[in-house]
Each structure stands twice: as structure tokens, then as C-alpha cells.
Amino acid sequence: MAFEYAPAPESRSVVDIAPSYGLFIDGEFREASDGKVFKTVSPSTEEVLSEVAQASAEDVDAAVKAARKAFEKWSALPGSERAKYLFRIARIIQERSRELAVLETLDNGKPIKETRDADLPLVAAHFFYYAGWADKLGHAGFGANPKPLGVAGQVIPWNFPLLMLAWKIAPALAAGNTVVLKPAETTPLSALFFADICRQAGLPKGVVNILTGDGTAGAALVAHDGIDKVAFTGSTAVGKAIARTVAGTDKRLSLELGGKGANIVFDDAPIDQAVEGIVNGIFFNQGQVCCAGSRLLVQESIQDELLDALKRRMSTLRVGDPLDKNTDVGAINSAEQLARITALADSGEAEGAERWAPACELPDAGYWFAPTIFTNVTQAHRIAREEIFGPVLSVLSFRTPAEAVAKANNSQYGLSAGIWTEKGSRMLAVADKLRAGVIWANTFNKFDPTSPFGGYKESGFGREGGRHGLEAYLDV
Amino acid sequence: MSDRLSVFKTYKLFVGGKFPRSESGRVYEVTDSKGKWLANAPLSSRKDARDAVVAARKAFGGWSGATAYNRGQILYRVAEMLEGRREQFVAEVADAEGLSKSKAAAQVDAAIDRWVWYAGWTDKIAQIAGGTNPVAGPFFNVSSPEPTGVVAVLAPQESSLLGLVSVIAPAIAAGNTVVVVTSERSPLPALSLGEVLATSDVPGGVVNVLSGKTAEIAAPLAAHQDVNAIDLAGADAELAKALEVAAADNLKRVLRPQPVDWAADPGTERLMAFLETKTVWHPTGSLGAGGSSY
Amino acid sequence: MPTVPANGNEAAERLASMAAVTASDGALRRFLHGLPGVDPVGLEARAAALGTRSIKTTAKAYAIDLAISMIDLTTLEGADTPGKVRALSAKALNPDPTDRETPRTAAVCVYPDMVATAAEAVRGSDVKVASVATAFPAGRAALPVKLADTADAVAAGAHEIDMVIDRGAFLAGRYLSVFEEIKAVKEACRRPDGSAARLKVIFETGELSTYDNIRRASWLGMLAGADFIKTSTGKVAVNATPANTLLMLEAVRDFRDATGVQVGVKPAGGIRTTKDAMKFLVLVNETVGEEWLTNEWFRFGASSLLNDLLMQRQKLSTGRYSGPDYVTVD
């Protein structure tokens, strides 16, 4: 008899989702000016979770005005007082983390294991870290008394809804800005719960405004004359459109866009840990991660051995109900994303790469894609060049460190890379030559509020996290 | 007013996370600014100092090895617990320093906010005091600050709580452990702070609080070979010189007493006072034996 | 390549084919140092991640019975007496007097001079007698003494021998000496009828100190003919941990891939709660799979673990939490 894990679902009862939500403007929830709403569904079941307001241009204007009005007092507060608001928010997030983890899993489709052990701890830590900067801006290396920019318009993606909110809001508020934030269309709920956390923390009204809606709301926000700063995380295509929109204005811009991260495994790598790193690099959050290690570059001398080990490990991945505590791989966030992943994977086969996925039963309802690898991939294949944003790994090989670097850098993107070797000097030499903003050596997908994150080339510009992350919200 | 008889508190030392009486078995009388008896405080001996150093050394590995994030969380927890006991400390500081309720409250509020200030520093010290160095050669070179070790702290004599917090918090924020000698005349807020620290997730031994005659306790601490640094904030000029001489025996880092406005922005001086800088070199090399143009 | 158990003639032939790597100290060192390195942070993170598996209801019931059946119920005290060993053996045979369905433990584990007593007590059952030997726990005795210690335990009826390696020699890089000693002890496990006691090789991972050393010791032990590799004596500060056990499971997995020989794993020391035991079983399940999920190939060296498992077992059957007064203290 085999050791089969019985279902271990996290209780849904810790979170109370209302049937409908309004926009959070000037400290209050209100309906959209034109009364429009849209539904948000659970990607693992397609169940409708709630109905949320679709912000109109008029709503964007109201939110920006509220943020502008709040800016005067908020920016004039002593940094130590702003710090204490942010510390309060960090603590309330810690207190409500189980509730928020379940909510995020429901709305996004990612496993509860990840929201519980990665997203939520990082969210709280991010607020905690930037809370500490609010009264120390003069020590951050941007002059004795750096000033905030004003009102920040922030647009975030659906892959880490609350974490991306934290990355945007925490440094903005610490530096003395006020914000209007638009969460992604498919994952609006955790941002709306965050509005409630602002209420519990006693945050002055208008400092944080949340506008739900689709791309039109985001476009209206970044185009609005009343904002001083645009911060966007999402696709490179939309990032370019935003860059065109703000061209010729005084708006500051920071962009965190796509990636095609190379995970480079040398023949002297700690193999078992490298396998874990590869799995974590591409299957964490179903591969819907801008810094995913979506290209595996393996030294030819260990290719067969490594791929055998990788396949064996992939066969133990547990795909299914995201609320089950033992689930490793959850649902794809939307039908649209699933279609994109499917199309790109099909192109991989059509172009001659060899497809492999472990046997796994996918649920009938919801949006699912089995963890997949492609071998015999060449640099010319679409799956080696385009961001798939799904659980699909393209395997390429190399013979020398120089070749590994050349292939890794041969991309329009430059967000992340991984290096696996037990030899320190090789690791540092390769890291030195890689054109990417985050390099992980003998690890992958590690994040910390103290550590700057962001890309080279078409992966965007500006850094989030760390001391560097303040720069994006200071007039320096 | 009820005519109920109140229960007095027995003030005790705080050493290794426990609340011992002085090894000497002796106490001294603590009075308010008008000479009214407030309590008997433990009169620490050199053996109490020795025990406190042992406790601080034992705690150093864990505390300095904890993540900066974790230390920040714990320091913030101290602020939370102190806020919860605000009224008690307002009364103690008012008695100790002869202040009005409102002035004492301002001192206590500033002391709470000071914990918050330093809570935010734990994970930022390395970011302003460390960094990579562009050495001229194929080497990765990085400097990082590390805590000095066990720090003996003579708390300011005149500022019984705010001054005390202003000297303890930066030392432990940086990862040091401390043995603090309280204000001689006004030890009660410091002894009560021990109770706050004991309920704030601060590991036992990270802060050790001794009350008594400053000069008597300071002498063995300044001469102690297992103490790495000493903050002389609470020493007068004559005592400070003698202690600095004793401290030279094992080259303790010494922070000399100077006039300080404890209510002012504390800056980073005390945070940087008890740090060592460690610089690590590692070769980077080239990508191939034949060199590489990448 | 079909898999064969480590205790058998086929395994000996397979190992003989690896003779080149054990031909000299130099060859052996080159081989062991050529094994892939272990990144400690990654290893511990993987072990910790598997430790978050949630084992509930039917899975828990299965795992508790499996864990009970894998215990080498152990007493290794200077104060041991025949009375104590008989009591322990009775417990192994009948762990929960209120529920005869409870599985028996795999073995009782005692010092050599208690083997005869234990063998008498478990006679006729499938509970094995395991004996530590080779000057356990330090192993600081001359080889003839260690061999006599082993032979004595086997002659007294031990089914299994838990030997300790010479950690001093290992840490000094005298790998061949460690290798030869294990081979000699394996030889001493033979009975006159040609059968042999199974040999568990204890590395004392807490003393080997690094994960690279643990991986090397694992291969060294397996090449020398270990039937089981075992973490610890239970007598030092750090004993079995999820990380060192995961690493040893990876070693037996890779060894089977390389040679076709299956070797068992026994974490020992410090595993006291059902929750701990569940974590180890998850490690087995997700690293080497169900072929190792039997007491033929996985054991727990433990004593107090058994009562915690029994209390959890009672909780599952009655729905209420049990207490220490409802399990036997032996």
C-alpha cells in the first residue's frame, strides 16, 4: 500500500468575502460613477467570488484628487509618524495573514503553501522594512532631506497581487507620497482587503486609494495629469505603451516587466539542490513569475543525469486544489493566460522541441496546465525567446562558461539568472558577465525587502526593494 | 479614595532573563526629588557584574546571529509593550526626575519612539555602513559591519528612561549584548524596563540591568577581559578617565561621555559606535582558461 | 539493472564490480571527493519544505502504523538489566495492550550482553533483535575487540548488528581503513550456517559535521557492504535530523541507480513525536518512494517515540486526546 496523502484543505471560513465591493477613494468605498461592475472568479473552480466596481475615468480623477489633497498633510508629517502608520500596517498584515493567504489563493489560484509561506510573510516584511526608512530618509544616500514626488499612480499584476501592492505602496508611503493603485483585473480582492487594513491602522483618508478595473482604468490612471509618478509591473508590451504615454511629461516612471531567466547549471553543481532550484525556478507560482528561471542552460557533460533527476523530481509534484496544504502547483490565473501558455507550448512542439510532462490528473473545472519541460530547444525557438509565463521550462545545453554566458545574455530581457556551481570564482565571474538585474547563485527565486529587484534591458528600469527602492519615490 | 493599602513592588535586577536580587544581599534607598522614599533598589556587587557579563556573552551568539529582520521585530515589540505600560512609566519617571506628569509623559513617549527608530535600523545598518569595494584586480570585495560583542553601558545619570533607552537600543540593534548600569539615583524606571524586555521576546541575557553605585560596578566591568566595549555616558570626567585607562587593558572600544540632548534626533552615532567592519576578498577570475571577451 | 537487496550474494557481486574505486586510499578518496557537493542551505530548505506536508486522517492512520512497525525499540543504558530488556521486548511484541491490532515494532535494540535475553523474549515472533557492537558508541577499541564484540552478539542470536564507524579515521582521511573495518565487521556478521546478521553502519553524523562528509560516508559504507546506513548513536548533541536523513536517502537512491543494490536507512536519536516521525516518512515517500516504505528498508532508532505514536493512534480511533497514563511505561 502506498503512502497517499489524504486531502488537507485549508479552511475557507477564515475569510469572509462580500458579494460586492466598491472603489476605495478618499477613505471610503463607493460605487463606480457609471455603476459598472465586473466579476472575479476563482481560477481553480471558475466559481464567482465577488463583483467589483469597474473604475471609470471620472473615478480615476476623483481618486487622484483625493490623493493630491491628502499629500499635503501626509508629506508634512514627521517621518517618525509615517513610520508608525506603516509599522501598524505591517503588524495588522501579520495578524491577518492566514485570512489574506486564503483570500489570495482563492482569487489567484496559487497554492496555499505559497501564499502562507512566501507571499504573506514577504508582504509584512516589506511594510516593516520601509516603515523603518520613513524617518531615516536623510540617511539613505539621497541628500540630507529628500522630498517625495507627490501622487503615485501604480498598476500591478495578478501573479503576486498583495506582494506587488506592498512593493508599490510601502516605499511610496514611507517617502511621503500618496498613491492611487490599480490591482489586476483578475485579482482585485486582496487590494480591497488591504483598504480595510488601512482603515484599521487609522491611515489618513486619501493616502491610499484603490481602483479596481481593467486595462482602460490603468491607462486612464497613467495618463492622468494629476499624478507625478507612474510605477508599473506587468508585461513588456504594456510597459512600452506606458513609456510612450508619459513621454514629454514630468512624470517619473519605473517599470518592472517581463523576463526569460537563464538558470545555468555547471557540471560541478550541487546536483540535488540544483534540481530543487530548477523546480522552484519554473514551477513556483505555476511559472507565472517575471523572474522565473524559464530557460535551463545545462552543461552537456551532465545533461542526461540532470534531466533524469529533474523528471524524477517533477513526477512528485502535486498538482491540484490550491487550498490543499500539500499542493505544489495550483491553477493558472485565467483562461486568457492558459490560452497563451497553451499556444506557446504548442509552438515548441511544432518547431521541433521535445515535450515531456509527468503523468498528472488535472481537475475538470478551472484553468490548469501540467508542469512541462521541452528538451532539444535551440536559441531560435519561440519557447527559448518569448516569455511564456507558465509552468513550461525550455532546456538548452552549453559546453563552456563563455558559451553559457553568451546564450544567457542572448535575450531582449535581463531580469534574472541562476548559476549553479560549487566553485566560487566561476560563480562570481559568470555573475559579473550576466546582463540581468538579479543573479541567484546556488539558489533561485529568493526575495527580501532589503534586496533591490529589477531588470536590465526590456525587463524594465528602476529597482524595488532595499535602499535603492526609495529612489523611485524621492525627488532625486 | 479607597483606604485600601497598596502592594509595594520589590525591585530586582535583570540578569540572563531572570530577576535575581543582588548577590550582595544589599539594597539602597531610592527617593524622589523631594527626598520621599520610593523603594529599595538592589545594590549590585562586582559578582553581579561578573554574572551579568557571563549572561551577556552567552546571549551574544544567538542575538548577533539572528536575522536583522528578527531583531527589528523584537525591538518593535519592546515599543509595543512599553506603550502598554505607558502610565506606569510616566509615574516612575515623574518621581525619578521630579517632572510634571506631562513632561514625564513626553519623556516616555520619546523613549517608546526611540525603540521604533532603532527597530527600523537593524536591517539598514549594513546598507549604510557596508558595501562593495572596487578593488583593482579580479576580486569581489565586500565590507560588512558586525557587532563588537559584549558592551558595558553606564546609563546617563540624569535621564532615567529616555537616556537609558537611547544608550541600550542602538547597541542591541546592531547585534551587541549589553550590561547596563542604571542611573545611580534614579534606577527604578530602568529596573522596570527589565520587566518590559522580559516580555518582549528579547532573549535572556541580551540586556542585563544592574542598579547600585555606578563607580563600584563600572570598575570591574571596565577591567573585565570578556567585555569588548564600554559606553561611559553615565560617568563623570574623573571616573571616565579611570575607566578608560582600565579599558585599555584589552583594548575595549570606548565611547566617552559628552553632553547629549536625549530628546533630540539621535542620529546614527551610537549605532555605529560598537561595530567592527569585516572585509571579504574572493577571486572572480575569467570565464575560460584562454581568457574571454564576454 | 534489477534491484537486489544489500544482504545477499548478488549484491556482493555488484560491489565487486566497483572494486576499482576501493582499491587504494587514493582511489577511494578521489571517488568520494568526486561525488556532487551538497549545498547546506538548499538541502535544509528542501527538508524543511517537506516537513510542511499535512498528513491527516487516513494518511495519518497509515503512517502511524507504518512508523510503529519501523521502530527499533531501543535501550542502551549502562543501567540496563535483563528485567528492563524483557519489559522492552514485551512492549515491542505488544505495544498497546488495549488494542491487539497495533503493529509490532521492527526490532528491539540492545547492547551485546543483553542479546540473549532479548532473543529469548521475542522468540517465535517477527520482532528482530538488533545489537549495537564494535565498542559502541565511541568505537574506540582495537579491531579484534570490535570483531569479537560483533561475533558475540551474532552468536547470542542478534538478527541485526548496528556498528559504529571509526570517525577519527574518517575525519583524518583514512577512508580505506574505515572501509576495511566495515568489511571485516560484515564478515563477522556471518553465522556458521552461511546466513548473516544484517549490518547497520552508524556514521555519527553529528561528529562528521559537514553534509559533504555525510554523503561520502554514506557511499563509503554502502561500498563496504552496509545493509543499512544509520545516522547516529543517540549519544551526541546532534542526532537524526530531517536534513541529514534526506541526504542519506538521496545517497541510497543514487547508489541503487549506480549499482542496483538497495540499502536501508535508519535515522536514530531525537525522534520523539508522531509529528517528527511523519516528517521522516514524508522524506522517504518523496525521495525514494514506496520501495523503502517498509521496515525492511527504513527504521527509526527510538524509544519514547513509540508511546507518542500510540497516543496519537488512540486519538484517531476514539476521537479524544489520550494521555501518558493510557500507554505503558516500561
Amino acid at residue number C323: G
Nearest Cα to Cα of residue A65 among A204, A227, A229, A219: A227
A394 vs A260, A304, A385, C237, CA distance in Å? 10, 15, 10, 45
Query: What span, in angstroms and rounded, lies between the C-alpha atoms of C168 and B51?
Result: 37
Selecting from A5, A273, A326 the residue whose C-beta is nearest the C-beta of C43 gives: A273
Pick the CATH number of A12-257+459-471 from 3.40.605.10, 3.90.420.10, 3.20.20.70, 3.40.50.970: 3.40.605.10
Q: In this structure, are residues A450 and A470 in contact, taking their beta carbons and an 8 Å threshold?
A: no
Selecting from A3, A277, A442 the residue whose C-beta is nearest the C-beta of C62 gives: A3
Spell out which residues of chain A touch residue B69, defining contact as CB-CB under 8 Å. 125, 128-129, 450
Three-state DSSP at B66 gives: coil
Interface test with B, best of A85, A136, A264 (most B CBs within 10 A): A136
* pLDDT for C17: 87
Selecting from A6, A8, A443 the residue whose C-beta is nearest the C-beta of C42 gives: A443
Contacts of C250 (CB under 8 A, 6+ apart): A272, C215, C287
Query: What span, in angstroms and rounded, lies between the C-alpha atoms of B250 and C296?
Result: 60
* pLDDT for A1: 58
* A290: annotated active-site residue: yes
* A269 lies within 8 A of chain C by CB: yes
Query: What span, in angstroms and rounded, lies between the C-alpha atoms of C57 and A443?
Result: 35
Interface test with B, best of A82, A89, A433, A434 (most B CBs within 10 A): A433
Residue B268 has pLDDT above 80, yes or no: yes
Residue B291 has pLDDT above 60, yes or no: no
Interface of A with B (CB under 8 A): 80, 83-84, 87, 125, 128-129, 131-136, 139-141, 400-402, 405-406, 409, 424-426, 428-430, 432-433, 449-450, 466-467
Please name the chains neighbouring B, where neighbouring means 3+ C-beta pairs under 8 angstroms. A
C-B interface (Cβ pairs under 8 Å ≥ 3): no
Is A276–C46 a contact, with Cβ atoms under 8 angstroms apart?
Answer: yes
Q: Residues of chain B with pLDDT > 70: what percent?
A: 97
Domains and CATH numbers, chain B: 31-283 (3.40.605.10)
Interface of B with A (CB under 8 A): 68-69, 72-73, 76, 113, 116-117, 119-124, 127-128, 140, 268, 282-288, 292, 294
Catalytically annotated residue among A256, A458, A464, A471:
A256
* A3 lies within 8 A of chain C by CB: yes
A-B interface (Cβ pairs under 8 Å ≥ 3): yes
Q: Could you report the per-residue pLDDT of B127-174, keeping only the tens digit for each?
A: 999 999 999 999 999 999 999 999 999 999 999 999 999 999 999 999
How many Å lie between the alpha carbon of C35 and the closest alpha carbon of chain A? 9
Nearest Cα to Cα of residue C244 among C276, C208, C278: C208
* pLDDT for B290: 53
Is A113–C52 a contact, with Cβ atoms under 8 angstroms apart?
Answer: yes
Nearest Cα to Cα of residue A181 among A160, A151, A201, A202: A151
Q: In angstroms, how far is the first alpha carbon of chain C from the final one?
A: 46
Q: Which helix (H) or strand (E) holds B196?
A: helix B188-198
Sign of CA dihedral A139, A141, A142, A143: positive
Q: Is the ipTM of this complex over 0.90?
A: yes
Is B284–A133 a contact, with Cβ atoms under 8 angstroms apart?
Answer: no
Selecting from B113, B122, B128 the residue whose C-beta is nearest the C-beta of A80 gives: B113
Is C54–A325 a contact, with Cβ atoms under 8 angstroms apart?
Answer: yes
Query: What span, in angstroms and rounded, lies between the C-alpha atoms of C284 and C266?
Result: 11
Counted across chains A and C, CB pairs separated by less than 8 A come out at 70
Is A135–B282 a contact, with Cβ atoms under 8 angstroms apart?
Answer: no
* pLDDT for B1: 57
* pLDDT for B292: 47
User: Which residues in chain A show pLDDT less than 70?
Assistant: 1
**Cell numbers describing residue C5:** 537487496
How many Å lie between the alpha carbon of A128 and the closest alpha carbon of chain B? 8
* pLDDT for C8: 84
**What count of other Cβ atoms lies within 10 Å of the Cβ of residue A358?**
16
- Residue boundaries of the structural domains of chain A: 12-257+459-471, 262-448
Measured between CA atoms, the residue of chain C closest to residue A279 is C46
The DSSP symbol for C36 reads P
Domains and CATH numbers, chain C: 4-318 (3.20.20.70)
* A117 lies within 8 A of chain C by CB: yes
DSSP E strand stretches across B47-198: 131-132, 139-147, 150-154, 177-181
Spell out which residues of chain C touch residue A276, defining contact as CB-CB under 8 Å. 42, 45-46
Computed on alpha carbons and rounded to an integer, the radius of gyration of chain C in Å comes to 19
Is B285–A430 a contact, with Cβ atoms under 8 angstroms apart?
Answer: no
Catalytically annotated residue among C149, C162, C212, C308:
C162
Q: Please classify residue B146 by burial: count the beta carbons closer than 10 Å to its beta carbon, then call 0-12 exposed, 13-18 middle and 19+ buried.
A: middle
CATH fold group of domain A262-448: Aldehyde Dehydrogenase; Chain A, domain 2 (3.40.309)
Q: Strands A295-299 and A262-265: what pairing?
A: parallel
Q: Could you report the per-residue pLDDT of B163-222, keeping only the tens digit for each?
A: 999 999 999 999 999 999 999 999 999 999 999 999 999 999 999 999 999 999 999 999
DSSP E strand stretches across C203-318: 228-230, 261-262, 264-266, 300-302
Is B268–A139 a contact, with Cβ atoms under 8 angstroms apart?
Answer: yes
Instruction: Record the pTM.
Output: 0.97
Please name the chains neighbouring C, where neighbouring means 3+ C-beta pairs under 8 angstroms. A
Query: What span, in angstroms and rounded, lies between the C-alpha atoms of A312 and C83?
Result: 49
Query: What span, in angstroms and rounded, lies between the C-alpha atoms of A124 and A108?
Result: 19
A284 vs A119, A296, A399, CA distance in Å? 12, 15, 28
User: Which residues in chain C show pLDDT less than 50?
Assistant: none
Spell out which residues of chain C touch residue A272, defining contact as CB-CB under 8 Å. 36, 38, 42-43, 46, 250
Instruction: Report the side by side order of strands in the sheet with A229-233.
Output: A28-30, A23-25, A208-210, A178-182, A151-155, A229-233, A252-256, A460-461
Counted across chains A and B, CB pairs separated by less than 8 A come out at 83
DSSP E strand stretches across A59-207: 151-155, 178-182
**Cell numbers describing residue A297:** 542552460
Residue B2 has pLDDT above 80, yes or no: no
* C56: annotated active-site residue: no
Interface test with C, best of A4, A5, A427, A447 (most C CBs within 10 A): A5
**Cell numbers describing residue A253:** 516612471
Q: Is there a cis peptide before residue C137, judged by omega within 30 degrees of 0? A: yes
Alpha helices in A328-461 (DSSP H): 335-350, 382-385, 401-409, 424-433
